[in-house]
């Protein structure tokens, strides 16, 4: 039997955190420190959360629709790392 829970409105903290209500965590079997998959639907401005397992099958299609190659993604990550390190250096010298 599937339990129907009402939608809720939650606030996003200054750290980007959102509280999943206790009834929802219990219904989904989410224990403390459980992993969840966050799947953004940017065109629809929606986010889907689901319990994350350990199987590779659950990750199939996670990058579907990305228009970047692995090399382009690596370059983007490296550029973000460089920016982060520069910002960190600036804060140490302030």
Each residue's pLDDT tens digit, 29-65: 888 988 888 888 888 899 988 888 755 655 666 666 6
Does this model's pTM top 0.75? My answer is: no
Name the fold adopted by 1-62: Pemi-like Protein 1; Chain: D (2.10.260)
Each residue's pLDDT tens digit, 20-31: 999 999 988 888
What integer pLDDT is reported at residue 76 of this predicted model? 85
Structure tokens at 5: 């829970």
Distance between CA 23 and CA 29 in Å, rounded? 10
Mean pLDDT of the chain: 82
Q: Which residues of 65-92 are buried (b: 16+ CB within 10 A; e: fewer)?
A: eeeeeeeeeeeeeeeeeeeeeeeeeeee
Strand (E) positions, the chain?
A: 36-41, 46-51
What integer pLDDT is reported at residue 1 of this predicted model? 46
Domain assignments of the chain as residue spans, ordered by start: 1-62, 65-94
Reply yes or no on whether the pLDDT at 68 is more than 90: no
* Residue pair 76/84 in contact by the 8 Å Cβ criterion: no
What integer pLDDT is reported at residue 54 of this predicted model? 59
């Amino acid at each position: 039997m599937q339990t129907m829970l009402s939608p809720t409105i939650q606030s996003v903290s200054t750290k980007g955190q959102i509280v999943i209500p206790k009834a929802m965590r219990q219904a989904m079997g989410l224990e403390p420190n459980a992993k969840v998959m966050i799947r953004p639907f940017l065109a629809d401005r929606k986010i889907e959360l689901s319990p994350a397992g350990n199987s590779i099958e659950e990750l199939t299609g996670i990058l579907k629709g990305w228009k970047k190659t692995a090399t382009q993604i690596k370059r983007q990550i490296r550029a973000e790392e460089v920016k982060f390190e520069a910002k960190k250096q600036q804060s140490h010298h302030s």
